[in-house]
């Protein structure tokens, strides 16, 4: 275990500014944190307050009218077609995306659509089971399991795959900068967006929201059967859209149930005693976000939208999610699975116990029942669940 932030002053004050910062975080409760004692009659009011504040914090631009998305090409595949499109969300920006449409789907036979959002540096092409967007793209683990969009279309649903900002085709000068553009480029992007009052998450959510709204207008899409399926980094814009779009048919969040605030409250300053840890990268940060709520509040505020969590999380957050959905009268709309390594309750050794302070990151993730090497899209769970909610 790491050591926690320390002070030897009898008044408990910290000389260290980082120690004082930790004191602030450990004594902080977001203003719109979900209260398990909230009366059911007041849930909708709390939910609308979360929605309104989140919409404000996303800092969506209000551009003049932009061109509608345009199709660049269409090619047949085995049992479906794949199309490349471009979206034009705001002046100066173009966002390519892929759409996979099952054979036989048309205006006379419309189908549900699942918007697929990838993890970290995983490009949309790999979601579709296609080649990387440019030669030498850094290989990511679990390519055989993270082809989310291809799994969706093979199950009879339309899939739309969208890159994360600064990833795939949205990378700066891939031929010359390569891997550095995925790392330093994303830091630069996030830093400058924050300086302008926006955020990486807000940009990602806005770009995906534009495409989601457009998909409702397609004659071969069932507008009442629109779902989101997201892995890792992609779960953050999915959480945003899940709150801002209460009419969604289903949401899959393929990551452990997380709390940025709880993580910071319980991690020590260093894993090795010599280097200060920087635990949460800039691309996860939204100005003023922690003042109002945490990521798990967004998931709670989705109720009663059907929600699948595929990689568990800390027992206290799971209980909180169950309480939120119960308060909304939607207990059956929430389904939670653990990593296979933690499917047996006996393997979840931290369940039911208080979370200590001064943890290393590895200790924290173990307490949250996270099997880091096996963090991949759990299609064997997610695809049947999506079929149940969209095709039945």
Beta partners for residue 335, in sequence order = 308
CA dihedral (13, 19, 20, 24) positive or negative: negative
When divided into structural domains, the chain yields a total of: 1
Q: Is 313 exposed, middle or buried (0-12, 13-18, 19+ CB in 10 A)?
A: buried
168 lies in a domain? yes
Please report, for the domain that includes residue 38, its CATH number: 3.40.50.1820
Query: Does residue 354 sit in helix, strand or coil?
Result: coil
Residue from 179, 182, 194, 361 nearest 282 by CA: 194
Residue 351 domain boundaries: 17-390
Q: Tens of pLDDT along the chain (392 residues)?
A: 567 788 999 999 999 999 999 999 999 999 999 999 999 999 999 999 999 999 999 999 999 999 999 999 999 999 999 999 999 999 999 999 999 999 999 999 999 999 999 998 899 999 999 999 888 787 888 999 999 999 999 999 999 999 999 999 998 876 555 555 667 889 999 999 999 999 999 999 999 999 999 999 999 999 999 999 999 999 999 999 999 999 999 999 999 998 999 999 999 888 776 677 777 899 999 999 999 999 999 999 999 999 999 999 999 999 999 999 999 999 999 999 999 999 999 999 999 999 999 999 999 999 999 999 999 999 999 999 999 999 98
4 lies in a domain? no
CA separation for the pair 169, 93 (Å, rounded)? 12
CA separation for the pair 322, 309 (Å, rounded)? 11
Contact call for residues 1 and 358 (beta carbons, < 8 A)? yes
How far is CA 70 from each of CA 82, 94, 102, rounded to the nearest angstrom? 14, 11, 20
273 lies in a domain? yes
Residue from 117, 213, 212 nearest 165 by CA: 117
């Amino acid at each position: 275990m790491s050591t926690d932030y320390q002070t030897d002053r009898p008044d408990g004050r910290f000389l260290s500014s980082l120690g004082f910062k930790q004191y602030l975080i450990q004594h902080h409760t977001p203003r719109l944190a979900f209260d398990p004692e909230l009366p059911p009659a007041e849930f909708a009011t709390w939910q609308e307050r979360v929605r309104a504040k989140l919409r404000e914090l996303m800092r969506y631009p209000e551009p003049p009218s932009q061109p509608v998305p345009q199709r660049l090409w269409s090619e047949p595949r085995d049992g479906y077609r794949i199309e490349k499109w471009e979206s034009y969300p705001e002046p100066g920006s173009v966002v390519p995306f892929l759409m996979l449409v099952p054979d036989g789907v048309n205006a006379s036979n419309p189908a549900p659509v699942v918007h697929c959002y990838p993890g970290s540096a995983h490009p949309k092409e790999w979601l579709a089971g296609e080649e990387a967007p440019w030669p030498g793209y850094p290989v990511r683990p679990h390519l055989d399991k993270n082809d989310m969009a291809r799994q969706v279309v093979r199950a009879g649903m339309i899939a739309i795959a969208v890159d994360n900002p600064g990833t795939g085709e949205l990378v700066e000068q891939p031929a010359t900068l390569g891997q550095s553009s995925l790392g330093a480029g994303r830091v630069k992007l996030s830093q400058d967006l924050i300086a302008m009052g926006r955020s990486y998450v807000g940009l990602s959510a806005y770009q995906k929201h534009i495409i989601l709204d457009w998909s409702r207008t397609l004659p071969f899409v069932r507008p009442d059967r629109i779902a989101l399926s997201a892995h890792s980094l992609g779960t953050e814009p999915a959480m945003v859209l899940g709150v801002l779009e209460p009419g969604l048919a289903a949401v899959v969040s393929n990551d452990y149930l997380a709390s940025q605030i709880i993580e910071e409250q319980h991690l020590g300053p260093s894993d090795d005693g010599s280097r200060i840890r920087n635990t949460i990268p800039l691309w996860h940060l939204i100005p003023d976000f922690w003042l109002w709520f945490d990521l798990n509040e967004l998931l709670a505020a989705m109720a009663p939208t059907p929600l699948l969590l595929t990689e568990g999380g800390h027992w206290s957050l799971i209980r909180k999610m169950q309480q939120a959905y119960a308060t909304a009268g939607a207990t059956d709309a929430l389904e939670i699975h653990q990593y296979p390594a933690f499917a047996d309750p006996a393997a979840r050794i931290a369940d039911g116990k208080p979370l200590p302070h001064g943890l290393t990151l590895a200790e924290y993730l173990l307490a949250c029942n996270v099997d880091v090497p096996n963090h991949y899209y759990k299609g064997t769970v997610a695809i049947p669940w999506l079929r149940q909610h969209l095709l039945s």
